[in-house]
Amino acid sequence: MATEVLHQTDQGEAERRAAFFAHIAAGGKVEATDWMPDDYRRQVLKFVEMHANSELMGVLPEREWILRAPTLKRKLALTAKVQDEVGHAQLLYRVAEDLGKSREEMWRDLLAGKTKFHNVFHYPTETWGDVGIIAWLIDAAAIVAQQALRGSSYGPYARTMQKICWEESVHIMHGRDIVLTLVNGTPKQRAMVQDALDRWWAPIMQMHGFRTPPEKDKDLAWRIKAKSNEELRQEFLAIYVPRILEIGLTIPDPELRYDEEAKRWRYTEPDWDELTRVVTGHGPKSAERLQFRQIHYADTAWVRDVILGEGPGALAAD
């Protein structure tokens, strides 16, 4: 970050803020050790914490299928993918920790339902077709957002995204390979993957979030993220709609088409009430997945006690 901002400690608070946000607006980066306004720090923390929570909770729907993977190659690839997601959670919690909230606090808030995670991880996985659709399209939707986050004003977050994006691109290839194999398989396998797409399309369309006007989006104004929700959704559709259709799958939205004049994709209005319900913890699997985490967190509390040499229950889930 610009050194003049760092060292002008005699400035008034308002002037200091103004200089900070001017620095950001000009494309400058902020490092963990730099001075930053509390509201900026809180906003970055909230954003990164939700991302970390999402990586952690995103492990659950897929880990159910590690044991069920139908070939040795798939089993290896899926274990590696889920391991990557755990690794991403670890990296992101470290970024968040530097902003002043401990990992234990973040876990407790997550387990207590006080903090959020992405909508797509509140839904059930029903068949092997889901494993392909998640790794291909949900990871693709995520990577569109994450690539933009490499331009985040918060430097440690932007750099973490470099590594994460690279790994996610491997996941997409793994997912696409599963989907292609099913599409070229038996009629039952083709039906399996189409059914998965039918169930996942609505959550995917909601995944980038509400069409918040850019001027009202604080994350955008402060360049915590670099693109608006709708820009990301349009980008995803532009790349993936042709790819989905090309392999012979049907997208379950009769309104979906590219509007040449407006230069944007038109689609059936996503059910924003569903998105609100789901991300506030009322999705079909929200309670069950949190409970699953709580149970395992409590089951392994003694291990953390032993490692840290603390009294019983020091880190147990509340």
Partner 1 sequence: MGEGAVTATIPTATLAGPEDLDGATRAALAELLLALADDEFVLGFWDSEWTGIGPALEEDVAYSSIAQDEIGHARALYELLAALTGRKADDLAYDRGPEGFRQARLLGLDRGDWAQSIARRYLYDTADATRLAALAGSSYAPLAGLLGKVRREEAYHLLHFDGWIRRLNDDDRGRARLTAALDALWPAALDLFTPLAGEDLLVRAGILPRPFAALRGEWLAALAPIFAELDLPLPARRGDDGAYTPTVAPLTGGRDGNHDPAFRRLHDEMTMVYREEPGANW
> Residues 275-314: x/- map of binding to partner 1 (CB under 8 A)?
------------------x--x--xx-xxxxxx-x--x--
Number of residues that this document lists for the chain = 318
CA angle at residue 206 from 190 to 116, to 5 degrees? 115
CA distance 220 to 141: 18
Asked if residue 141 lies in contact with residue 207, where contact means CB atoms within 8 angstroms, the answer is: yes
Q: Does 101 bind partner 1 (CB under 8 A)?
A: no
Q: Does 26 bind partner 1 (CB under 8 A)?
A: no
Which of the stretches 20-28, 62-70, 218-226, 253-261 binds partner 1 when contact is defined by CB under 8 A?
62-70
Residue 160: name the closest of 86, 91, 82 by CA: 91
Binding-site member from 3, 9, 26, 186 for partner 1 (CB under 8 A)? 186
Binding-site member from 27, 70, 100, 248 for partner 1 (CB under 8 A)? 70
Q: In the beta sheet, which residues pair with residue 258?
A: 265
Q: Does 166 bind partner 1 (CB under 8 A)?
A: no
**Share in percent of the chain as helix, strand, coil (round to 5):** 65, 5, 30
Q: Does 68 bind partner 1 (CB under 8 A)?
A: yes
Binding-site member from 16, 21, 28, 79 for partner 1 (CB under 8 A)? 79
- Joined together, the tokens standing for residue 241 give 């709609």
Q: Does 247 bind partner 1 (CB under 8 A)?
A: no
Binding-site member from 50, 167, 181, 258 for partner 1 (CB under 8 A)? 181
Phi and psi, residue 193, nearest 5°: -80, -35
Residues 187-226 contacting partner 1, CB under 8 A: 188-189
CA angle at residue 141 from 91 to 201, to 5 degrees? 130
Asked if residue 137 lies in contact with residue 120, where contact means CB atoms within 8 angstroms, the answer is: no
Phi and psi, residue 31, nearest 5°: -105, 160
Asked if residue 67 lies in contact with residue 125, where contact means CB atoms within 8 angstroms, the answer is: no
Q: Does 66 bind partner 1 (CB under 8 A)?
A: yes
Q: Does 76 bind partner 1 (CB under 8 A)?
A: yes
Residues 111-130 contacting partner 1, CB under 8 A: 128
Q: Does 69 bind partner 1 (CB under 8 A)?
A: yes
Question: Residue 125: what residue type?
Answer: T
Handedness of CA 111, 127, 242, 268 (dihedral sign): negative
Smallest distance, partner 1 to C-beta of residue 221, A: 32
Binding-site member from 184, 276, 280, 291 for partner 1 (CB under 8 A)? 184
Residue 82: name the closest of 54, 52, 62 by CA: 62
Cα distance from N-terminal residue to C-terminal residue, the chain: 39
Smallest distance, partner 1 to C-beta of residue 72, A: 5
Smallest distance, partner 1 to C-beta of residue 65, A: 8
Which of the stretches 12-20, 24-32, 64-72, 115-123 binds partner 1 when contact is defined by CB under 8 A?
64-72
Interface residues toward partner 1, by CB under 8 A: 59-60, 63, 65-76, 79-80, 82-83, 86-87, 89-90, 93, 128, 178, 181-182, 184-186, 188-189, 293, 296, 299-300, 302-307, 309, 312
